Structure 1
Amino acid sequence: MTAALATSNEGRRKSVVTALLLAPTALWFFVLLILPMLVIIVFSLGERGPVGGYQAALTLKQYASLGSRLAAFKNTIMLAPAGTLISVLVAYPLAYFLAVKVSPRWRYGLLVLVVLPFWTSLLVRTYAWMFILSGKGLPALLAAIGFPEIQMINTPFAVLLGIVYAYMPLMVLPIFVSLEKLDKRLLDAAADLGSSPLRSFLTVTLPLSLPGVVTGSLLVFILLMGEFLIPSLLGGGKIFFIGNALVDLFLQSRNWPLGAAMSLTLVIVMLVLITLYVRLTMAASAGKSRSLP
């Protein structure tokens, strides 16, 4: 009886200690995540004030008005996944080359060159692309060799190019880490069992590096869903993302309830897409792992 009581007291003491240790994190989680989300929900159920801002109400008409910003949703849903996919296709060979083909002596130096653009402002780098894609940049060069009147700036192509350039380092780093940690003995074993280099890559390297691909894709996709600078500058006001619509609603139109409804809808769409992506990727990874030679 005494031993059981002592065990129960010890368990309660550990629970109290655990709760105290987690309390600061829980407080920050509530203040920085839950509380702002609650404010957004309350704002989304309100109305625009006579001079803008928020006016207390209990209505769903802001959600019914989301169709007025359908173009922003359409562009974001199309270009953000496309930019993420292109970033994967570009970053994976680069990360593979750095992690597998380059000697350790040069590996990290080259990796620094990949992330070097992050040391400068995204605004400056995007303005550089505006010059490259404008009439005095690549279009002028193409016109000089016989391809006149090619429009690059203010197009979806320009936005995608800016997206891939800006966020590719975030894709390279997690894929590089996954590939660098790959046990090379698995590739040797696959070769001993008669696998070709291509089959070894598809059945060993690719499945084991999928966690890095998933991590990089989530990093890039989440940032792209809220992106507004690149579409604004390289899209020239013609390619709107949800981020551009939110800037307009909160800072210019001052329609905070509609902006809050749009923000909450964006969060829900992101959660759905990310959940589907992770499940499909993990299922594909499990299937490839079962097919190891």
Structure 2
Amino acid sequence: MNKMSKTDNKLGLKITSPYIIWSGLFIVIPLFLIIFFAFTKSDNGTYSFTLNNFKELMQPMYFRIFYRSIKLALMSTILCLLIGYPAAYIIAKSKARRQSVLLMLVIIPMWMNFLLRTYAWSAILGRNGVLNTILTAIGLPAMNILYTDSAVMLGMVYNFLPFMIIPIYTILTKMDQDLINAAKDLGANSTQVFTKVIFPLSMPGVVSGITMVFMPAVSTFVISKLLGGGQFMLIGNLIEQQFMSVGDWHFGSAISIFMMIVILISMALMNKFSDDSGKEGGGLLL
């Protein structure tokens, strides 16, 4: 029995060793480097411990950047939820053949390069773009959307909406239909069935979708650079600037640590909310 257990352990180690090596090289080591640079300063090739990198974050100009980044990410996440949940619900309630077609329409845009998808909106929203051409053709005034917060938020919603739809759709398709039928048999109308049964049971998918949208939205720099025109800066742009332009890896690492903490706190809050909602939903069903 012990020999078989040792053999299984060796086999499992061989199978997982490529993943362990990959994780060590591209996740663990870079994370340790970021932590190291965040808490050190360089002076003629010598490194010493310091907290000045984090103290520098306390300046008002950086608070404005953090506020704008979190505000746009939250608004984009809310819009994705408001659009994505009905879309996921419609897909989940469709017939099997139609489900495949609708789901494919959601996934197909993700096959295109992220930069191309984002850059295409510049041609649509530009001063002489497709949108203004249509508006002027029908006698309406042109709109200046490009290089504004609205354009950045539109780019976030467009790029990250599938990450909201797919988790919610997956939960809705796996939901026990007997619970819904039982609620209807007990006299609940369609609104009550949705608010008391379907939505509480779909909260794990909602939380997953919110997490998958908020994390890339709060850290993006490509969307804000292309659709914002570099007129304002988000956290992602600030980190990119410190690493690629300024060359201050220490301050850039400190900002990265701060952003990781913000994301971890938001994930913890969402998980707690999901657990509480699940218990509440279970109580309502009982």
TM-score (norm 2): 0.88
1:106 alignment partner, one of 73, 98, 102: 98
CA contact (8 A) 1:187 1:204 kept: yes
2:144 alignment partner, one of 144, 148, 151: 151
| Cα shift at 1:21 | 3.6
Counterpart of 1:225 in structure 2 is: 218
Counterpart of 1:116 in structure 2 is: 108
1:56 alignment partner, one of 24, 32, 47: 47
Say whether residues 1:36 and 2:27 are aligned partners: no
In structure 2, distance between residues paired with 1:173 and 1:34: 29
**SS at structure 2 position matched to 1:238:** coil
Deviations 1:209-264 (A, max 9, x none): 11111112211122222211111111111232211111111011111110011111
Counterpart of 2:238 in structure 1 is: 245
CA contact (8 A) 2:203 2:277 kept: no
| Cα shift at 1:90 | 0.5
| Cα shift at 1:276 | 0.9
In structure 1, distance between residues paired with 2:212 and 2:226: 22
| Cα shift at 1:39 | 1.0
Counterpart of 1:268 in structure 2 is: 261
Counterpart of 2:77 in structure 1 is: 84
Q: Which moved more, 1:140-149 or 1:77-86?
A: 140-149
**SS at structure 2 position matched to 1:130:** helix
In structure 2, distance between residues paired with 1:247 and 1:211: 33
| Cα shift at 1:117 | 0.6
CA contact (8 A) 1:182 1:208 kept: yes
Identity of aligned residues (%): 34
In structure 2, distance between residues paired with 1:49 and 1:130: 43
Q: Closer, same or farther in 2 for the Cα pair 1:116/1:13, shift >3 Å? A: closer
Equivalenced residue count is 280
Q: Which residue identity does 1:106 align to in structure 2?
A: R
CA contact (8 A) 2:201 2:281 kept: no
Say whether residues 1:127 and 2:119 are aligned partners: yes
Which is higher, the Rg of structure 1 or of structure 2? 1
Deviations 1:146-192 (A, max 9, x none): 65364211111111111111111111111111111122222111111
Question: What CA RMSD, in Å, does the superposition of the two structures yield over aligned residues?
Answer: 2.6
Q: Which moved more, 1:205-214 or 1:89-98?
A: 205-214
In structure 2, distance between residues paired with 1:264 and 1:160: 24
In structure 1, distance between residues paired with 2:10 and 2:74: 40
